[in-house]
Amino acid sequence: MVPASNIVDPVMGPTSISHHYQNRVVVISGGSSGIGLGISHHLATLGATVVIFGRSQDKLDAATAAIAGQGGNAVGYSVDVRDAPGIVERLADVAQQHGPLDLVIAAAAGNFFAPADKLSANGFKTVIDIDLIGTFNVFSAALPHTRKPGGVLLAITAPQAQRAIPNQAHACAAKAGIDMLVKCLALEWGAKGVRVNAVSPGPIAGTEGLARLSATPEIETAVRNNTALKAFGEVSDIARAVAYLGSPDARYVTGTILDCDGGMRLGNFPSL
Ligand code: HXC
Ligand code: NAP
């Protein structure tokens, strides 16, 4: 009898996620805390070299030390995703040092709770600049260095892209822009052998993003009840979704938004 781990499925071939990330190069903006840090840990554990971009050098140092402490391989660079020339320069250096980029994840974002009539032009612009333009800056600078064929660009979006949420006009507009950017880039860059996708997390326990949307325990409960599953997700839920889309298991998937949101995007009608 062949041991189960040695059986090769004639349809699926050898299973890939657990093998795919060995010696792969992953770049992640916003990989130094919260969901991005969870993704960095997971992909490093699967064997990737993880290159993290963020603004705070202290956060980058803490993240790379924690990954090294688990036996993983990570480096951090202080870069602001709004600095397009800085991103171009840094990604060229990374590719020179580490080789073609296998997976590039744009997870950096900024958000706060603010009614639209109290939002200054600069407040609105700041979130568009970090989330939407920052995602374009990272993807467009990565394209020349992305492995072809086989490279993957992956954005982290949010249910705000698909559903209007009070006090979130800036984040809703930015994330909706990201969803359409992903589809357009998938269409234009597919012929180069590059896939472009997004993962859309719902409210994820223990993160800055959820804390900023949950000023009181009552609001936190309301946010939880705004998901179909009546539950918060975990960072690991998002890391698993990212690992799938970044691997050859998803080789025929491009231009898609993988909703990993407990159904938050569906809306909620508590009185019905
Ligand atoms: C109204 C605000 C504001 C607030 C800032 N601004 N905070 N307006 N309400 N709470 C305005 C400022 O007054 C200023 O406008 C403009 O925004 C820029 O502010 P700065 O502080 O100068 O910007 P900066 O230093 O670049 O910081 C960016 C930031 C900050 C977004 C404001 O919070 C940040 O760095 N955030 C990163 C971490 C983060 O947000 N994580 C959560 C991501 S979660 P004026 O007019 O005064 O000049 C997420 C989605 C979660 O993205 C979805 C959950 C389901
Ligand atoms: P977080 O902990 O605040 O992480 C944000 C990351 O982005 C940090 O590493 C931060 O590092 C970096 N960053 C922020 N602004 C940057 C900039 N201008 N340039 C470079 N790096 C920057 O947030 P999170 O809650 O985990 O959210 C992570 C992602 O998931 C975001 O895209 C968010 O929109 C999305 N999301 C989150 C939730 C949730 O429930 N948390 C739900 C849906 C979607 P520095 O501060 O050092 O720059």
Radius of gyration in angstroms for the set of CA atoms belonging to the chain, rounded to a whole number: 19
Average pLDDT over residues 5-23: 76
Between CA 42 and CA 271 the distance in angstroms is 40
Q: Cα(53) to centroid of ligand 1, in Å?
A: 18
Q: What does DSSP say about strands 73-78 and 49-54: parallel, antiparallel, or unpaired?
A: parallel
According to the CATH classification, is domain 20-261 in 3.40.50.261?
no
Which residue minimizes the CA distance to atom 32 of ligand 1? 110
Q: Which two tokens stand for residue 41?
A: 């840990």
Which residue minimizes the CA distance to atom 16 of ligand 1? 123
Average pLDDT over residues 100-121: 98
Q: Cα(149) to centroid of ligand 1, in Å?
A: 37
Residues belonging to the chain: 272
Tell me what pLDDT residue 191 has: 98
Strand partners, 259: 200
Cβ–ligand 2 distance for 207 under 6 Å, the answer: yes
Please state whether the predicted TM-score (pTM) of the whole model is above 0.75. yes
Ligand nearest to the CA of 62: 2
Residue 13 has pLDDT above 80, yes or no: no
Ligand nearest to the CA of 127: 1
DSSP secondary structure letters along 11-78 = TTBS--HHHHTTT-EEEEET-SSHHHHHHHHHHHHTT-EEEEEES-HHHHHHHHHHHHHTT-EEEEEE
Q: Cα(13) to centroid of ligand 2, in Å?
A: 36
